[in-house]
Amino acid sequence: MAEKRDYYEVLEVSRDATDEEIKKAYKRLAKKYHPDVNPGNEEAESKFKEINEAYSVLSDKNARQKYDMYGHAGPDQTSGFGGFGDFGFGDIFDTFFGGSTFYSNVRRKGPQKGADLQYSLELTFEEAAFGTEKEISIMKDTVCSSCNGTGAKAGTKPSRCKHCNGTGQINVRQNTLLGSFMSVRTCDVCEGTGEVIEDPCPDCNQGFVRKKTKINIKVPAGIDDGQTLTLRGEGQPGRR
C-alpha cells in the first residue's frame, strides 16, 4: 500500500493556511481533477480521491488538530497514539499499565449521502442581469434498471457475508507493549455492507450506471460572477 502524502502538500497549501485558503485550494484542484473533466484518466481519479480525503480532514477543525499533532494516525485513529484524543484519562491509564482498551474504526453500513456535483455555467451579460432558464447535460450515476440497484445479476441477490456474519464489522485484538487492545474494524470482505455479491450485474457498477442527464436550471436576475446555485436532489444518488 502506497504511503499517504501530507494533506497540506496534497492541497498545495502551507500548514498555517486559513480555512478559506484551504477551501479555495480544494475547489481549484477538485475542478482540475474531477472525473467528469478527465474521463477514463485513472491518475486524475486517484488524485481527486486524494484531494477529497485531504479536504475532509483539513476542513474539520477537530480532525485537523489531530492531524497536526499525530499525522495520519490522528484522524484515522488506527495506529500509534492518534486515538488518545478520544480516550478518557482512565483509558490512557489502563493502556499504559496493562489494561484493555476498546475502540472503534468502523464505516457504518447504513445509508450514505450521495456526493455533490459541480457544473460551471457561462452566461451573457443580459442573462446574468435579467435572469434566464438553462438546460444543461451532466454525467451522473443512475440506478441500474437491470438489477434495480442491488448490484447483483438479475435473478440473484446479495448474500450475507460469512466473514463478519452480516454485521459489516470484525473484532480484532492486538497485544502491544502498552497492553491489549480490542478494536472494531470494517470488514475487509464486504467493506462494511454485511453483504457479498457473488454474481455481479454485468450492466452496472455496484447497482449504478453512469449516464448523461439533462437538468433545467432557473438563473435568478442579478447573479454575480462566481456565485453558486444549489439544486437540491440533483447530485449523485446515495448508497444503500
Q: pLDDT of the chain along its 240 residues, tens only?
A: 567 889 999 999 999 999 999 999 999 998 898 887 888 888 988 999 999 999 999 998 888 988 888 888 766 544 333 343 444 444 433 434 444 444 444 455 556 777 888 888 888 888 888 889 999 888 888 888 888 888 888 888 888 988 888 888 888 776 655 556 667 788 888 888 888 888 889 888 778 888 888 989 998 988 888 888 888 888 887 776
Work out whether strand 100-105 and strand 179-186 pair parallel, antiparallel, or are unpaired: parallel
Q: Are 187 and 169 in contact (CB under 8 A)?
A: yes
Q: Find out whether 150 and 201 touch, Cβ atoms under 8 Å.
A: yes
For the chain, give me the number of helices (H) and strands (E)? 7, 7
- Sorted by sequence, the CB contacts under 8 Å of residue 143 that are 6+ apart come out as 149, 207, 208, 237
Beta partners for residue 140, in sequence order: 211
Note the Cα 82 to chain centre separation in Å: 21
Q: Is the dihedral of CA 172, 175, 176, 180 positive or negative?
A: positive
**Predicted local confidence at residue 75, as pLDDT:** 64
How many CB atoms lie under 10 A from the CB of residue 228?
7
Distance of CA 17 to the CA centre of its chain: 22
User: Could you tell me which residues come within 8 angstroms of residue 164 by beta carbon, excluding any fewer than 6 positions away?
Assistant: 170, 187, 189, 190, 194
pLDDT of residue 206: 78
pTM over 0.75: no
